[in-house]
Amino acid sequence: MQGLLLSRKFWALILAVVVIVIAAFVPDFNLDAEHAAAFAVIIVSYIIGVSVDPGPGDWRGVLKSRKFYGAVFGLVLTFLDAFHLVLPFDLTVEQMVSIAVAVGGYIAGVAFEKPKNL
């Protein structure tokens, strides 16, 4: 059980479930199909990235992880857009999905850059 609670993949899954619950109960949160796809690309890329290259494993390793910061950037941008908060630039939904795919590609690229377990 302790291993599960320390797993970054598990916490990414919990975040995904929390977002789905927020979308169900908060009417101002616009999680339409495009935003859900953008969010899913980032979460799935992060889970796969951590599976391929888990890194050091402790919290200092997480804070040094480029995969983590890529995922945080993409998720914050998706959350802001889903809550209709004004960004300094006006993005369409298609542009949001494109950014999410690029962030997902970055996360996957970083994971495959130096896989330690292969």
Q: Tell me: the pLDDT tens digits for 84-100?
A: 776 667 777 788 788 88
Contact 53, 108 (CB under 8 A): no
Asked whether residue 95 is assigned to any structural domain, the reply reads: yes
Mean pLDDT across the chain, nearest whole number?
Answer: 82
Asked whether residue 104 is assigned to any structural domain, the reply reads: yes
When pLDDT is cut at 50, 70 and 90, the band that residue 2 belongs to is low
In a 10 Å sphere around its CB, with 0-12 CB exposed, 13-18 middle and 19+ buried, how is residue 118 labelled?
exposed
pLDDT of residue 88: 65
State the DSSP string of 54-116: --S-SHHHHHT-HHHHHHHHHHHHHHHHHTTPPPSS---HHHHHHHHHHHHHHHHHHHHHS-S
pLDDT of residue 14: 92
Residue 117 has pLDDT above 60, yes or no: no
Asked whether residue 118 is assigned to any structural domain, the reply reads: no
Domain hosting residue 96, numbered range: 2-113
5 Cβ partners below 8 Å, 6+ apart? none
The percentage of residues in the chain with a pLDDT greater than 70, rounded to a whole number, is 89
Task: Tell me the C-alpha distance between 8 and 57, whole Å.
Answer: 9
Calculate mean pLDDT across residues 106-113.
84
Asked whether residue 11 is assigned to any structural domain, the reply reads: yes
Query: 101 is written with which tokens?
Result: 């795919």
Residue 79 has pLDDT above 70, yes or no: yes
Task: Give me the number of domains the chain comprises.
Answer: 1
